[in-house]
Amino acid sequence: MKNNRRLFLKLAGLTGFSAVGGGILKGFASVPQSNVLPAPENARAGKQLFNMSGYAAPKLETVRIGFIGLGQRGPEHLSNTSKLEAVEIKALCDIRNESVLSSKKVLDGTAHNPVIYSGSEDAWKKVCDRKDIDLVFIATPWHLHTPMALYAMEQGKHVCIEVPAAVTVEECWKLVETSERTRKHCMMLENCCYDFFELLTLNMARQGYFGEIVHGEGAYIHNLLGLNFDKAGYYDMWRLKENMTRNGNIYPTHGLGPICQLMDINRGDKMDYLVSMSGKDFQMEKKAEELAAKDPFFKPFTNHKYRGNMNTTCIYTSKGRTIMIQHDVTSPNIYSRIHKISGTKASALKYPEPAKISGTDGESWVSDEQMKLLEKQYEPAIVKKIGELAKEVGGHGGMDFLMDWRLIDCLRNGLALDQDVYDAALWSAIAPLSEKSVANRATSVDVPDFTNGSWKKNKPVDISLQTGGTTKAKI
């Protein structure tokens, strides 16, 4: 238990948002009144070392991969990428040897024979130090993402980081600067950008179906109360510790990513400022006390003010559009990422499912038959190409496979990635910025422009698949 306490304190230190002007527990202290908060994190704005938006790295004949973090999520990327041609899995790393050994079984019957690294907190550096690796996947607890990604890029590796890519605004800037300086891709693996309805609405938006996009909504509403308090769940209870030391929308990217792509954020529009409000905690402290009454393991998790259960964050863009993002991972809600699009001609709403699209009269949702026609008419190129196979492979209904396939295909064909370091930084930064607003009575907080002005000329994500699309899969 002593050890657990020490790790908790360490995590608290690592995830502190000193860069955004406050201690980590500030969100729970009595809240001062203030006007619009200054944005010291914007001080770096003005100089882009190199524009990574639309950047195509030299083609890779074979993509040689190392994996760091093989808990619940890492093995899913391992399994997906092992099914793709011209991929070599070179290294597997997890601090826990048993996790590496059990994930290696995913590769049974394949030609992949990776070297294993484990047993110490920094064994992962040896993966990044290898000369025969092009790409490092990172699926570890959040506070380790940026330190691992920075080191990997410094060693000449492209990186893919699970969501969120960073936990402080300072870390977001470091990712941007390092990716620009090293010219290495830094992609955050926002798989929800590849879900079928999100891809459909992106394609429809591009073809003008919704008219001008006025407003978008997204969310991560998923009851993880049991899993967060499960001793056999997340490694060393890391996710519960995040929930007990921060207050805001600490996991914004699933709902936000698809809306940002649809609104061409960082590529024609940019976020300007946000306001964020959290209610109080009705569930987590109570749950910790109930569990601690029976099991002393949970004692360190009692007597803490946990994150407010529901957070609502509203973002204003430079073009005057709005985005609303919600986060609640403790209430017994039905799963939802909302995905609402409101345009001048039509609208769409994914959750509660079934997903719906309005007719252009704006009066009613289209019928099931009309929906099928729309799905056919606006079927995205990537779905046409590999959608059936992705559904067969599975992984959140196939979106994980679509993302991993597209990533490897872009690297092999020397194409720009769909999600660049500016997306990773911006979408992740919403978490610490929301904490800052919550801590100050929902005061408005400026959102940094990680593109340093290049958003005005950056091109929208290429969804045409006119180039590439050559990577075959064997399942």
- Which residues contribute to the site for ligand NAD (CB under 6 A)? 68-74, 93-96, 99, 121, 124, 139-142, 144, 162-163, 191, 234-235, 238, 396
CA atoms within 13 A on the CB side of 39: 21
Closest CA to 73 of 106, 112, 97, 43: 106
* Whole-angstrom distance, CA of residue 175 vs CA of residue 199: 27
For 384-408, give one letter per residue: b (16+ CB within 10 A) or e. ebbbebbbebebeebbbbbbbbbbb
Inter-residue contact 153 to 182 (CB < 8 Å): yes
Letter for the amino acid at 104?
K
Inter-residue contact 113 to 91 (CB < 8 Å): no
Inter-residue contact 228 to 234 (CB < 8 Å): yes
Question: Cβ 79 to ligand NAD, closest distance in Å?
Answer: 13
* Whole-angstrom distance, CA of residue 185 vs CA of residue 171: 16
Question: Cβ 440 to ligand NAD, closest distance in Å?
Answer: 26
Closer CB to ligand NAD, 351 or 455, in the complex:
351
Which residue blocks in 186-248 are alpha helix, DSSP H? 196-206, 225-228, 238-245
Structure tokens at 364: 């009613």
The residue number with the shortest CB distance to ligand NAD is 71
Closer CB to ligand NAD, 338 or 366, in the complex:
338
Strand partners of residue 135 = 65, 158
Question: Cβ 444 to ligand NAD, closest distance in Å?
Answer: 28
Closer CB to ligand NAD, 69 or 387, in the complex:
69
Closer CB to ligand NAD, 111 or 232, in the complex:
232
Question: Cβ 124 to ligand NAD, closest distance in Å?
Answer: 5
* Whole-angstrom distance, CA of residue 87 vs CA of residue 186: 19
Q: How many CB atoms lie within 10 A of CB 214?
A: 16
Closer CB to ligand NAD, 236 or 272, in the complex:
236
Instruction: Give the β-pairing of 271-278 and 445-446.
Output: antiparallel
* Whole-angstrom distance, CA of residue 387 vs CA of residue 406: 11
Question: Cβ 42 to ligand NAD, closest distance in Å?
Answer: 26
Closer CB to ligand NAD, 38 or 397, in the complex:
397
Closer CB to ligand NAD, 74 or 255, in the complex:
74
* Whole-angstrom distance, CA of residue 405 vs CA of residue 402: 5
Closer CB to ligand NAD, 177 or 242, in the complex:
242
* Whole-angstrom distance, CA of residue 424 vs CA of residue 221: 21
Question: Cβ 131 to ligand NAD, closest distance in Å?
Answer: 21
Question: Cβ 142 to ligand NAD, closest distance in Å?
Answer: 5
* Whole-angstrom distance, CA of residue 141 vs CA of residue 126: 19
Question: Cβ 72 to ligand NAD, closest distance in Å?
Answer: 4
Closer CB to ligand NAD, 236 or 289, in the complex:
236
Question: Cβ 53 to ligand NAD, closest distance in Å?
Answer: 22
Question: Cβ 122 to ligand NAD, closest distance in Å?
Answer: 7
Closer CB to ligand NAD, 238 or 273, in the complex:
238
Q: For residue 64, give every residue at least 6 positions away whose Cβ sits within 8 Å of its Cβ, in sequence order, or none.
A: 87, 88, 90, 132, 133, 134, 135
